[in-house]
Amino acid sequence: MEFAIPSAAHIGAFAAAGFVLLLVPGPAVLYIVGRSVEQGRLAGIVSVLGITTGTLVHVTAAVVGLSALITSSVLAFSVVKYAGAAYLIYIGVRRLLNRNEPSAEALDLPRRSLWRLYRDGFIVNLLNPKTALFFLAFLPQWIDAAKGGVPSQIAFLGLLFAGMGLFSDATYALLAGTAGSWMKRRRGFLKAERYVTGGVFIGLGLTAAIAGNGRK
């Protein structure tokens, strides 16, 4: 099997975009924060491990599915890339237009055993169709099909994103676990989540579309 990784420029752009995205407090982060606030840092870290395991399953599916698509049709892959960019923009616009503010109950979750926390985190991320769609929309933007070794490129970027997500989610868990009582009294950050999330997704979609248009 041919092995290749994306160019340094593509890796840098992917890492920068992924870093911005991971800083946004989305549903997974709110789940982790809720667990950490309610049961402490260890509970948050265990939840993070479960979510990361679910992410790895999606990465594996993306490697198999996208690799087959690219091998079968360059045109189809190009369509997926631009459809993916449009999907990211759609997510952002929909989030901005959604006026249903995150509930303060997101920080009030029942206590669970460590095994239950891991299992719940895994299932939450594994069964989330938006996670699968995100990988299908996001990863293709940074793949250089002409370079060959497409499966290894997808796997490399997928694992990189999973590792970055593990680090950022763990940071949220530690901070929330440490400042749990303070966060229970100050939940205003939830109200700004939709604006930040929407803007980030729209920006990523536009960047991906422009970047894809400039590649040969």
- pLDDT of 26 > 80? The answer is no
Mutual orientation of helices 193-213 and 74-97 as an angle, nearest 10°?
A: 160
The mean pLDDT of 53-67, rounded to a whole number, is 85
Q: Full-prediction pTM beyond 0.85?
A: no
| CA-based nearest residue to 136, from 178, 82, 211 | 82
pLDDT of residue 115: 92
Q: Do 124 and 51 form a contact (C-beta atoms < 8 A)? A: yes
- pLDDT of 80 > 70? The answer is no
CA distances from 147 to 111, 150, 153 (A): 49, 8, 9
Q: Which residue has the higher pLDDT, 147 or 43?
A: 43
For the chain, the average pLDDT equals 76
| CA-based nearest residue to 87, from 128, 132, 51, 55 | 132
pLDDT of residue 215: 43
| CA-based nearest residue to 138, from 86, 69, 193 | 86
- pLDDT of 5 > 80? The answer is yes
The mean pLDDT of 194-210, rounded to a whole number, is 68
Question: For 99-149, how does the pLDDT look when each residue is reduced to its tens digit (9 = 90+)?
Answer: 665 544 455 566 778 898 999 889 878 876 667 767 777 787 788 777 878
Q: Where are the beta strands (DSSP E) in the chain?
A: none
Reported as a pLDDT band with limits 50, 70 and 90, residue 216 is: very low
Q: Which residue has the higher pLDDT, 186 or 169?
A: 169
Reported as a pLDDT band with limits 50, 70 and 90, residue 71 is: low
Q: Which residue has the higher pLDDT, 2 or 19?
A: 19
